[in-house]
Amino acid sequence: MQPYLNLQEWFGAIDIYLFDQLLKGRIVPGMRVLDAGCGSGRNLVYLLRSGFEVLGVDESSAAIEQTRRLTAALAPHLPQNNFRIEAVEQMSFADAGFDVVISSAVLHFASDEAQWMSMVKEMWRLLKPGGIFFARLASSIGIEDQVRPIADRRYHLPDGSQRFLIDEAMLLSVTADLGGEFIEPIKTTVVQNMRAMTTWCLRK
């Protein structure tokens, strides 16, 4: 019998809105999942424990090494080459190979709109028809009067950071261009007028 695991052990530091997709039954064991910009694997603990085929990329070699160690501990059957040091806008996986593509707190690091679109199109390329795209990214929604423009959709935020910020009109336009279908309404959390994080969930 498997020993009891508490929620932190079972789910790690998973994004609460990604957890919501699990609860709604949209992401289920057996699916092939890509975390595009996986960092040290904070969103992967449950997936690795639960029989998903998990792959990921990150530009940080240190982050990929941490994710490989996490995978070796929780899902040793998965190849270490599932986790690669690559840019999100230029990944080495074949077209339409994933049931789910995750982009959690990555897209707002784009240097300009061209890079942002390159990342989105590359993730969309990898998604199977009917697959789910899940993104959490910084936006100007609800804090329009608190952000200061730099250039090409990059802004100074009240929390002192600089981010590429989207708005609702941009997400609606890009979704239409991709031919995606919203599976959730656009949801934004505003944190004390310091920053805003938006959830963008589509079906291909």
Task: Band the pLDDT of 79: cuts 50, 70, 90.
Answer: very high
Domain residues for the domain of 150 are 8-17+30-203
* CB of 122 closer than 8 Å to CB of 89: yes
Average pLDDT over residues 20-37: 97
CATH of the domain at 150: 3.40.50.150
pLDDT attached to residue 4: 61
Q: Is 158 a member of any domain?
A: yes
pLDDT attached to residue 132: 98
Average pLDDT over residues 117-130: 98
Which SS3 state, helix, strand or coil, does residue 18 take? helix
Q: Is 25 a member of any domain?
A: no
Q: Is 146 a member of any domain?
A: yes
Question: What is the rounded distance in angstroms from the CA atom of residue 88 to the CA atom of residue 103?
Answer: 9
* Confidence check: pLDDT of 1 > 80: no
Q: Is 1 a member of any domain?
A: no
For 191, phi then psi, to 5°, come to: -100, 95
* CB of 119 closer than 8 Å to CB of 107: yes
pLDDT attached to residue 173: 98
Segment 167-200, tens digit of pLDDT: 999 999 999 999 999 999 999 999 999 999 999 9
Task: Band the pLDDT of 3: cuts 50, 70, 90.
Answer: low
Q: Is 22 a member of any domain?
A: no
Q: Is 23 a member of any domain?
A: no
Pairing of strands 127-138, 195-203: antiparallel
Total domain count for the chain?
1
